[in-house]
Structure 1
Amino acid sequence: MPDHGIKGKTIIIAGGAKNLGGLIARDLAAHGAKSIAVHYNSLATKTDAEATLAAIKAAGSTGVAFQADLTTAGAMEKLFDDVVNAIGRPDIAINTVGKVLKKPIAEISESEYDEMSAVNAKTAFFFLKEAGKNLNDNGKICTLVTSLLGAFTPFYAAYAGTKAPVEHFTRAASKEFGERGISVTAIGPGPMDTPFFYPAEGEDAVAYHKTAAALSKFSKTGLTDIEDIVPYIRFMVSEGWWMTGQTILVNGGYTTK
């Protein structure tokens, strides 16, 4: 049987410099990953990427970092080429890239829609494409989506709507890559306590989200904490390999399908 553990594996994390992506990188290094490639979007995040690399190396893993805007197929192909050249073919590929917009449909411009589609759907599609081409057999792929895929709510049409295609991308990729033993999943956290959450929400909305999950009062913030999500990511890219083609909502009872 193939080895489905983390120890000794080579990993690429898109959006891996900080917040959830950075914590995933640190966690997988602590669990014995051999090498981790951290992608970050812009030079503004370079310092965070360097701090994450330092933590990866302190845990005994090899770390490399690459900056790229991944909203074109060429940029995604180059990222995977750079990773393969630097640390070898990945065993695990994790995509945490995403962009939030909370706005009524009537107020969303074409340029805003195009940007949301490029970041949330197009990037996810081409990440799956390049992961499928470059991963070793028996590899694992996991994409971060959102629990809003299970919600009936206004104002998130552009955000949840451009994350929704990833569910089908995940199903299709699991069928296409399955003959090589590659599992493909997506995880949809609830509203997370990160710097990306608060700018999009008013005080009333923040207060609501902090009490909306069934387990809210047991969370340190009332929201989904990034520490709550990391174990699920780790499981899905290791011993949880038998689940494939699925989108799992991890949100403390915030919503379901």
Structure 2
Amino acid sequence: MSGTPERVAIITGGSGGIGRVCAQRLAADGFAVVIHYAGHRDRAEQTVREIRESGGHALAGHGDVADEHDMAALFTLAQTEFGGIDVLVHTAGIMPLSPIAQLDLGVLDEVLRTNVRGTFVVDQLAARHLREGGAIINFSTSVTRLQIPGYAAYTASKGAVEAVTLILARELRGRDITVNTIAPGPTATPLFFEGKSREQIDGIAAANPMARLGTPEDTAEAVSFLAGPARWVNGQVLYVNGGAA
């Protein structure tokens, strides 16, 4: 790698289906990308290699998104290697499903720790360290509006993410840093397919006005927009779901 890139992005959950494609898209847009991973080092490092082979700047960093020390080290890595941070794309999260009556409260604690505390941790660091003209892009889900049984713990955590986003956008008044949340609909990723029959998957796709599932590329398009030209979009929840309710 040569030269210093003008803009730098951290992508949490960058080894996952949506996070990986978002990292690739921002690298294609000219960003240096720091690809965070928790448990899939091989996939993160493969993405780094692919970006570098295409002439981009990338590196991988490990850590627990809910651990402030791990994430502080990740932000320090980005600043040390690339000179600063402009964009945070916070895709990391977990989605165990269970009806409320059968929900293991230990699982609920884990969901809230990763999805809610994790958002507070990385958003706090971003608020402290992003340069002027930056963007914080959190992730929620369109399921908050679809009321699908079994998703209560997950959607409760993502409702909290939306609240954090709306307030942080106003707390950063005068900093020229936008804060938004993307709420994808059903998206063709390994996480979505897990535990679903072909009949269920086909039914979900057919119910969408676009008659298909979303793709990680659909979501990455919205991330690219919010990370780049969308300077007048702030404090919003953007539903990227093909028209699902």
TM-score band by shorter chain is over 0.9
Match of residue 170 from structure 1: 165
Match of residue 183 from structure 2: 188
Instruction: Tell me how many residue pairs correspond in the alignment.
Output: 241
1:227 paired with 2:224, answer no
TM-score by length of 2: 0.93
Identity fraction in percent = 29
Q: Give SS of 2:239's match.
A: strand
For residues 30 and 9 of structure 1, the distance between their equivalents in structure 2, rounded to whole angstroms, comes to 12
Query: Does the aligned pair in 2 maintain the 1:84–1:90 contact within 8 Å?
Result: yes
Match of residue 240 from structure 2: 250
The counterpart of 1:38, out of the listed 31, 35, 38, is: 35
For residues 225 and 19 of structure 1, the distance between their equivalents in structure 2, rounded to whole angstroms, comes to 9
Q: Give SS of 1:103's match.
A: coil
Question: Any gaps of 5 or more consecutive residues in structure 2?
Answer: none
The counterpart of 2:20, out of the listed 9, 16, 22, is: 22
- 1:75: how far off? 2.2
TM-score by length of 1: 0.89
Q: 1:106-125 CA distances to partner (integer Å, 9 max, x unpaired)?
A: 11111100111111111111
1:94-113 aligned within 5 A: 94-113=89-108
| Aligned-residue RMSD, C-alpha | 1.5
For residues 169 and 228 of structure 1, the distance between their equivalents in structure 2, rounded to whole angstroms, comes to 24
Q: 1:193-239 CA distances to partner (integer Å, 9 max, x unpaired)?
A: 111012243444323211121111xxxxx211111111111001111
The counterpart of 1:79, out of the listed 38, 58, 74, is: 74
1:239 paired with 2:229, answer yes
Give the 4+ runs in structure 1 shifted more than 4 A.
none
For residues 203 and 111 of structure 1, the distance between their equivalents in structure 2, rounded to whole angstroms, comes to 30
- 1:168: how far off? 1.0
Query: Does the aligned pair in 2 maintain the 1:36–1:56 contact within 8 Å?
Result: no
For residues 151 and 182 of structure 2, the distance between their equivalents in structure 1, rounded to whole angstroms, comes to 18
Question: Any gaps of 5 or more consecutive residues in structure 1?
Answer: 1-6, 217-221
- 1:37: how far off? 0.7
Q: Give SS of 2:172's match.
A: helix
The counterpart of 1:52, out of the listed 47, 52, 69, is: 47
Q: 1:99-156 CA distances to partner (integer Å, 9 max, x unpaired)?
A: 1122100111111001111111111111110001111111111012111111123211
